[in-house]
Structure 1
Amino acid sequence: MGRVLVTGMGIISAIGENLSQNHESLRAGRTGIGDATYFESQYASKLPFGECRISNDKLKALLGLEDSLGYTRTCLLASKAFEEAIQDAGLTREQLSDANTAFISASTVGGMCLTDQLYDDANMKSSGSEYLDAYGCSAHTLRLVDRYQISGFTDTINTACSSSANAIMLGARLIKTGRAKRVIVGGVDSLAKYTVNGFNALKILSESACKPFDENRDGLNLGEGAAYLVLESEECAAGKKVYAEMLGYGNANDAYHPSAMSDEAIGAIRCMKEAITMAGIGSEEIDYVNAHGTGTNNNDDVELFGLHELFGEIPPFNSTKSFTGHTLGAAGAVEAIYSILSILHSELYPSLNITNPVRTFDTAPLMEFEANRPIRYALSNSFGFGGNCTSLVFGRSN
């Protein structure tokens, strides 16, 4: 099985409209969590969100879609990040249409970001809107397939918060087994009443900016965004800029509870072990962990327990959700890109908002920006509802 190399990245989140802006915000410790401007909800003025600071009209203008119909915010965010990724990788129209190019995306809310419009259309309270074919989880994928004439394998994954991590894993498997030569992988989610009301019912939304791994953490903030990576075989990547190598992945499901992880971190430990083993390295060689780190009591406690069980002495770790909020189906790809930026630039970014860091197992998250910190291998964790746990290992490409 050949190497899987990352040759392109594109991202839009609460801390930037592109890769460069996201990197600058990480270095500056600048959060994107705050008041929502474009999200219409009774909670918009009551809770903080990680909203992308760009309107749908501006997104359409940037993408040349002013006259296009049926594009939800989910579709627009996905299109923005996708286009940056393929341009970054230098992919041509011919390469995108090649049967050896696959596309795997992920989302949890999909077009249901238009919750009220969906209700009206479904209950025949409208005459039929332009969004009738846009409500599905895969609608954004189909839009991109049609726009770029992608003819290879395509799929849309929904495994809750591990969705885009699983998209990355599946893409890497396609390349390793020779079923594709390049795969565009990632995910998207936009803010929606559907998800905000659901998470609010679980009583896990914080009324302030989230503080993962703080002793006084009280919940998460929901965010939105999209991120895509271009994975290519060594043959296709020859002579190209390479950001990192996709070395290992693992997926496990502890099936403990619909919205909580088992206290024994069964799924988390297993997927981390699988990813590290597949990477062909020892756990002691992991230099950095981008933790799932939602800021809820259950997640942070269980993840720390799993990290301690696996590593003993836990490597430097953080939660970049304190910058973006929890972007759900996009989170795995967003945090994979942040992990690669740490490797590429030899940098570690802080977990924000912490005043009283957890001291469990005599460890604490990163709280300050660190430059000139060589990172050979990084582990990125994504844990979803139902206990669907995925870990990815990225390494330097040389």
Structure 2
Amino acid sequence: MSRIVVTGIGIITAIGETADENRDSLIHAKTGIGKARFFNSRYTGQLPFGEINQSTELLAEKLGIENNIATRTDLLALHAAKQAIIDANLSKEDLSGNDTALIGGSTVGGMCLTDEMYADANAAGISNSPYLTSYSNSANTSFLQRYFNVGGLVNTFNTACSSSANAIMYGARLLKNGLAKKVIAGGVDSLSKYTVNGFNALMILADEPCRPFDSERKGLNLGEGAAFLVLEREEDASGKRVYAEVRGYGNSNDAFHPSSTSVEGEGPYLSMKRALEVAGLSPEEINFVNAHGTATENNDETESAAMLRLFGTPPDFASTKSYTGHTLGAAGAIEAVYSIISLQHQEVYPSLHFTQAITATGLSPITTYKQKNLQHIMSNSFGFGGNCTSLIFSKM
């Protein structure tokens, strides 16, 4: 069966507007987590965020978007998707063909404009607010479809933090089953009051930069960003630069709790195990794990338990959320790009702010940048409701 390869990547996060800028920050341990400048919330002065250092107005100007109804989420998605499309050298004819699919993942969608929609809903004389149509979590995918005139299948995943990892998995399966020849897959989320207030109500937001896998971790930092990959079958990518192979993928749901995984890490364990089975690899062949690593009490302990159960002695691992914050529906795609960059340059990036292992598991992420012989990298994304997805990327 055909191998599925990555022929284009695009990304924007709090640590860079391109893949090269993101890599430089990862190498030099430059976090993007700090005081927000553009996000307006009662918590802006109290909590750190992984905010992209550009106003929505500047993003729109740079992208040549005059429509003031385009949300910040739309603009971040466009920034990353345009990079990936150019990188893969997709033409207008490629994009408009009925065999090119666009698969997005998002949690926030247009919820970043909740205040504006609420104001319209309570204003006299407004019967059809433009903010209503931009509110859906799939609105940003529709925005990209119209902008690029994508002619094939278009879909959006909303499985919380595993959304864009599921988009990539689904895209690979479309190609495997001959339902598309090219797939643009990824995800996006922007900071929004709706999600910040929700996470704050769960009492899992840290008042300091997050400390994944540390025994004294206080919780996560919310961030924003977008990343997209262009996926093709190997035989259709002849003559193109190929970054990596999408070797394996697995999804599971332990259905334990609306916002937690089970103590045994059943969902994470099964998603990693299934990804290995699809890839035809043994646990010992995984050289590095880009962990979900949210720095919440539940995630880091259950993910550690699942890794111990699967690997025995886990390979090197780290969480890049200590750089970008937790970008929710975008996290799986962003960390997929980081995994691909690691394979491309044969290097791994450290977790930040780690000092002491969790007593129950004793696992420590890597804390310094190092060059490493890499053939297979696993990237984990675990969402609310126990929806867990693991992707495996392999060197070509």
TM-score above 0.5, yes or no: yes
Q: Write the distance in 1 (CA, Å) between the matches of 2:358 and 2:345.
A: 27
1:110 partnered with 2:103: no
Q: Residue type matched to 1:164 in 2?
A: S
1:39 partnered with 2:39: yes
Describe the SS at the equivalent of 1:10: strand
TM-superposed deviation, 1:362: 4.5
Q: Write the distance in 1 (CA, Å) between the matches of 2:26 and 2:357.
A: 20
TM-superposed deviation, 1:131: 2.8
Q: State the Cα RMSD in Å.
A: 1.2
TM-superposed deviation, 1:133: 1.8
Deviations, residues 166-210 of structure 1 (Å, cap 9, x unaligned): 000000000001111110000000000000000000000000000
How do 1:68-107 residues align onto structure 2 when only pairs under 5 Å count? Answer: 68-107=67-106
Are the counterparts in 1 of residues 26 and 349 from structure 2 also a CA contact under 8 Å? Answer: yes
TM-score by length of 1: 0.97
Are the counterparts in 2 of residues 72 and 131 from structure 1 also a CA contact under 8 Å? Answer: no
Are the counterparts in 1 of residues 114 and 194 from structure 2 also a CA contact under 8 Å? Answer: yes
Deviations, residues 84-115 of structure 1 (Å, cap 9, x unaligned): 11011111111011111100001111001112
Matched residue, 2:199:
199
Matched residue, 1:188:
188
Matched residue, 1:241:
241
Q: Write the distance in 2 (CA, Å) between the matches of 1:253 and 1:131.
A: 33
Matched residue, 1:121:
120
Q: 1:298 to 1:362 in 2, by over 3 A?
A: closer
TM-superposed deviation, 1:274: 0.5
Matched residue, 2:338:
338
Are the counterparts in 2 of residues 251 and 271 from structure 1 also a CA contact under 8 Å? Answer: yes
Q: Residue type matched to 1:199 in 2?
A: F
Q: Residue type matched to 2:366 in 1?
A: L
Q: Tell me the percent identity.
A: 56
Describe the SS at the equivalent of 1:162: helix
Q: Write the distance in 1 (CA, Å) between the matches of 2:201 and 2:19.
A: 34
1:378 partnered with 2:374: no
Q: Write the distance in 2 (CA, Å) between the matches of 1:179 and 1:124.
A: 46
Q: Write the distance in 2 (CA, Å) between the matches of 1:279 and 1:258.
A: 30
TM-superposed deviation, 1:69: 3.3
Describe the SS at the equivalent of 2:255: coil
Describe the SS at the equivalent of 2:170: helix
Matched residue, 1:29:
29
TM-superposed deviation, 1:138: 1.1
Q: Write the distance in 2 (CA, Å) between the matches of 1:359 and 1:37.
A: 37
Q: Residue type matched to 1:83 in 2?
A: K
Q: Write the distance in 1 (CA, Å) between the matches of 2:121 and 2:30.
A: 41
Q: Write the distance in 1 (CA, Å) between the matches of 2:172 and 2:134.
A: 28
Q: Residue type matched to 1:379 in 2?
A: M
Are the counterparts in 1 of residues 214 and 355 from structure 2 also a CA contact under 8 Å? Answer: yes
Q: List runs of 5+ in structure 1 lacking aligned partners.
A: none
TM-superposed deviation, 1:129: 5.1
Matched residue, 1:387:
386
Describe the SS at the equivalent of 1:41: coil
Are the counterparts in 2 of residues 121 and 132 from structure 1 also a CA contact under 8 Å? Answer: no
TM-superposed deviation, 1:286: 0.1
TM-score by length of 2: 0.98
Matched residue, 2:137:
137
Q: Write the distance in 1 (CA, Å) between the matches of 2:143 and 2:161.
A: 23
Describe the SS at the equivalent of 1:379: strand
Q: Residue type matched to 2:74 in 1?
A: C
Q: List runs of 5+ in structure 2 lacking aligned partners.
A: none
Matched residue, 1:61:
61
Structure 1 stretches of 4+ with a deviation exceeding 6 A read none
Deviations, residues 221-265 of structure 1 (Å, cap 9, x unaligned): 000000000001112211100100001100000000000000111
TM-superposed deviation, 1:356: 2.2
TM-superposed deviation, 1:312: 0.2
Q: Write the distance in 1 (CA, Å) between the matches of 2:120 and 2:227.
A: 30
Q: Write the distance in 2 (CA, Å) between the matches of 1:208 and 1:300.
A: 17
Matched residue, 2:258:
258
Describe the SS at the equivalent of 2:323: helix
Q: Write the distance in 2 (CA, Å) between the matches of 1:375 and 1:305.
A: 24
Q: Write the distance in 2 (CA, Å) between the matches of 1:215 and 1:301.
A: 9
